[in-house]
A and B are shown apart, each in its own frame.
With several copies, the nearest count.
Chain A
């Protein structure tokens, strides 16, 4: 198991630029989620539940910025808004899905965090935890078989709770057997909904599992963007170089409820006030200012600009049509003519 510490020497200008880029990804994700949270609470506009990645932006975005859309595969999970932004998912896709606008990628058929564009390498998760890991493995296997894998990787994430699923185990084991360039990031946010880690697993740290799969394990303080960046850069590089699956555990806390309906009263104050409870975005902001990469007011200006974009998108989406059941093609098959009439 590897933990990479970030020393002052690591702060090259190049690293600083990456850090700033990742920060902007995080900031945008936070603002988008804040907006959707507010719309949810004000009622009426958001369709379905809202599950946020607040506090997990450094870990999610830290992986996302290593990936290249058009080349890599990415299967984000429920708290990966930052990873999605980094991967280049359009803001429109986010708001159209949450607000149930018909032109979104899911056209009202599936919602919020389930959105994706598989043909562009952005998989659309199903709810069943653990189920996406093998799908990413399959993408990679097929590409390798077709001789067009190159140095692409596939990445997906999972929570502490999701590691208890058989699906997770089967898929990681299989990927290890096939030595696929798969990155699995485990966002250990100490809780699965209300269930604390000690009711979820009995090992000391989840990265202890890496050896049992024969894969490389990495551990990171996920509230620290610098460590996230350095670690994911190394892990993704190792996968690209043929090192097989990489298991990266990030320790952190989600700074929201499980969903916006949940007040997370089950999280003890002691944990909230521990190192785990730090807000990665604030930490990164302080770091940027301290290192003189940007000033507070510059950061505020970025935020204001993004906020304006977001507000404009929301206005646009609010005007878009909603799905129309009469125009809906009620067919689950892609091949026409496969469908049958059920006499009613």
Chain B
């Protein structure tokens, strides 16, 4: 039985509802309708009263999840698109992010953000907001790139006593399939070496892992062995695994799909430079989307985000240094 990335997310929610009575789902159109992307398909029928349609009120939705968590529940919130979480931004960063630190009351909520670009989606249905949320203290930010991680990391997120921003990539929903679900993987906070190599390291996360792998394939034709590391969670960010990789390759490119100013790739470069300066044979590079809103037309969209072509080019540049 094969399973898509999207189905894995649905299955994980099934499992969470099935095994933990504290879990409930809250979001727009997630009940009978099964959600805009069908990530909750059938769940309201299987778990009556625990898969609840919300009004179009992202601020209040997050507030509700936090209140429920205070009472011991473990809500999973679905934002219809990551982009709309901007309306719940205040509750996320100021209420959820500070609750434990201020009051010693844990806040085990999981906020699912259907993230990232797909062709034709435009500036408000394509955003990757991991960098925004990671900047604020108190939030765990996970960015699964595989079917297994989509499944297990969602369950791990629900189990975690801290608020988790679960960035699931819409481009992977249908495109990414696994033949079967693997066993429980690494914990949140650990990166994974997806492909070992020795000439350079590409650090990526979410959909960009797959672009990076394709770039590694390309360069293999030229005889380069590119190591690919999947961050899996961008906060906590697994600096150690990165340092190990750089110790082997001496060269690193960090690829992210969000906007170029600050964010994950800058954080990775800043850490690596601070901690592995002596291991570097070349300056750490980064590659992000362009510094404009995300374009609607596929011609522009394809040029806006990093792709196998631009990653390959960047790597060639890095290898030449």
Interface residue ranges, A against B (CB under 8 Å): 47-49, 100, 105-106, 108-111, 114, 116-119, 123-124, 126-129, 131-143, 145-146, 161-162, 164-167, 170-171, 173-174, 177, 192-195, 199-201, 266, 322-326, 328, 330-335, 337-344
Contact = CB atoms under 8 A, between A and B. Distances in A.
B105 A119 contact: yes
Contacts of B67: 134-142
B260 interface: yes
A343 B271 CA distance: 7
A339 B94 contact: no
Interface string B47-66: 00110011111111111111
A145 B68 CA distance: 10
Contacts of B152: none
Interface of B: 21-22, 24, 28-29, 31-33, 36, 49-50, 53-73, 75, 81, 83-84, 86-87, 90-91, 94-95, 97-107, 119-125, 137-138, 140, 160-162, 188-189, 235-237, 239, 260-261, 271, 274-275, 285-288, 290-293, 295-300, 302-304, 310, 314
A196 to B, nearest CB: 9
A330 B293 CA distance: 9
B297 A335 contact: no
A113 B211 CA distance: 31
Given A128-B124, A343-B274, A146 B66 contact: no
Contact of A165 (B22, B56, B123): B56
Given A139-B68, A142-B73, A145-B49, A332 B60 contact: no
A172 B249 CA distance: 56
Contacts, number: 289
Contacts of A139: 67-68, 70-71
Contact of A49 (B90, B120, B287, B290): B120
Contacts of B62: 134
B55 A131 contact: no
Contacts of B22: 146
B94 A335 contact: no
A335 B162 contact: yes
Chain A binding surface, main DSSP class: loop
A195 B32 CA distance: 9
Given A128-B87, A334-B161, A342-B291, A118 B303 contact: no
Interface centre among A106, A128, A132 (most CB of B within 10 A): A128
A93 B64 CA distance: 26
Given A109-B295, A167-B63, A174-B64, A193 B28 contact: yes
Nearest to A266: B33
B246 to A, nearest CB: 14
A325 B297 CA distance: 10
Contacts of A138: 63-71, 75
Nearest to B237: A340
B72 A200 contact: no
A327 to B, nearest CB: 10
A177 B102 CA distance: 31
B263 to A, nearest CB: 11
Contacts of A135: 63-64, 66-67, 70, 95
Nearest to B98: A126
Given A109-B293, A111-B120, A342 B260 contact: yes
A131 B49 contact: no
Contacts of B86: 128
Contacts of B83: 127-128
Contact of B64 (A114, A141, A200, A266): A141
